Structure 1
Amino acid sequence: MEFAEVVRRRRMVRDYDPNRPVPPEVRERLLAHAIRAPSAGFSQGWAFLVLETPGDRERFWAATTEGTAPDGWLTRMRRAPLLVVPLSDKSAYLDRYAEPDKGWTDRDESRWPVPYWDVDTGMAALLMLLTAVDEGLGACFFGIPPQRLGPFREAFGVPDRYRPVGCVSVGYPGAEDRRSPSLRRGRRGVQEVVHRGRW
């Protein structure tokens, strides 16, 4: 598929065919493309928790939801045969920029205007989303509620230094997949968001 077509077709898919697993070679391409994301100082401060067995996926949903009866969104999302949790590692960036070639001699976090460890990990997630489209799959990036981060960490033994920036669900779109009502707002045009030379 041409790159422009991949970008045009990229959308968040919220229902999956539970009877069609993601082929292992496709899963590996998703991950191989994710690590091609840019990272400040080539710090590569990311990790990816891959959950594809029914038990692992069920543990994820149990840890990250409140335990109430699932609504329609959750019912459809739980059908995804593959979940990938991208995690950022701030310490990799602080360590990297304290190395001699970067010119800083300490790990002072105040030098960072934005948390590039999260930004770069988010870019890795976007590469997974685009790869899914190119492979004929659907995918969705969604967040883990802050109050569920502790149970998530405990369920999977995630070290404290790694922060989940969200989760990417992947699979073949299901019969109940539908466009988000949010799309009724319309996509903002280039002329609305681009400022040339001056605000």
Structure 2
Amino acid sequence: MDIYEIINHRQSDRQYDPERPVEPEKIRCILEAARIAPSACNAQPWHFIVVDEPELRNQVADAVASRILGMNHFTKQAPVHILVVEERPNFTSGIGGLIKDKQFPLLDIGIAAAHITLAATAEGLG
């Protein structure tokens, strides 16, 4: 599948098979795609946490679900979560952000998250 097919095929899945295992090699490929995402001054202001242990997955799903609005309850079905944690930018990126009044880490982790979703699609995952 080329990049344009991946972009056209990607969708926001709301239903997962919790019994379907996700191969570690697929997770490694997805993380590598996120790791090489561009970032301001190559700061890479992120940390990725893979959560595949059932009890921790449920805790993550509870943290992102909204009881009031009934949103994101489908996350309990996902067999794996990849958490994207924002880190402080490096010195150059931080100074550039101050000068330009931009929050580069927020932009950078958005790009990394896009890489994750595209790589997951390429790997046949939601």
Indicate the TM-score class for this superposition, using the shorter chain for normalisation.
Answer: 0.7 to 0.9
Aligned to 1:111: 99
Question: In 1, distance between residues paired with 2:46 and 2:99?
Answer: 20
Letter in 2 for 1:54: P
Question: Of the two structures, which has the highest relative contact order with CA contacts closer than 8 Å and spacing of 6 or more?
Answer: 2
Letter in 2 for 1:77: T
Deviations 1:137-184 (A, max 9, x none): 11xxxxxxxxxxxxxxxxxxxxxxxxxxxxxxxxxxxxxxxxxxxxxx
Aligned to 1:162: none
How many percent of aligned residue pairs carry the same amino acid? Answer: 29
Question: In 2, distance between residues paired with 1:132 and 1:36?
Answer: 15
Question: In 1, distance between residues paired with 2:72 and 2:44?
Answer: 33
User: What does 1:132-171 correspond to in 2, within 5 Å?
Assistant: 132-138=120-126
Structure 2, unpaired ranges of 5+: none
Q: CA RMSD in A?
A: 2.4
TM-score normalised by the chain length of structure 2: 0.86
Larger radius of gyration: 1
Distance of aligned partners of 1:45 and 1:17 in 2 relative to their CA distance in 1, 3 Å threshold: same
TM-score normalised by the chain length of structure 1: 0.57
Structure 1, unpaired ranges of 5+: 99-106, 139-199
**SS, match of residue 89 in structure 2:** helix
Distance of aligned partners of 1:115 and 1:58 in 2 relative to their CA distance in 1, 3 Å threshold: same
Question: In 2, distance between residues paired with 1:72 and 1:120?
Answer: 26
Displacement after TM superposition at 1:37 (Å): 0.5
Letter in 2 for 1:39: S
1:52 aligned onto 2:48 = no
Deviations 1:5-27 (A, max 9, x none): 10111111111011102111001
Structure ranking higher in strand proportion: 1
Aligned to 1:82: 80
Displacement after TM superposition at 1:120 (Å): 0.8
1:23 aligned onto 2:11 = no
**SS, match of residue 92 in structure 1:** coil
Displacement after TM superposition at 1:114 (Å): 2.1
Aligned to 1:160: none
Question: In 2, distance between residues paired with 1:70 and 1:110?
Answer: 36
Letter in 1 for 2:79: P
**SS, match of residue 38 in structure 2:** coil
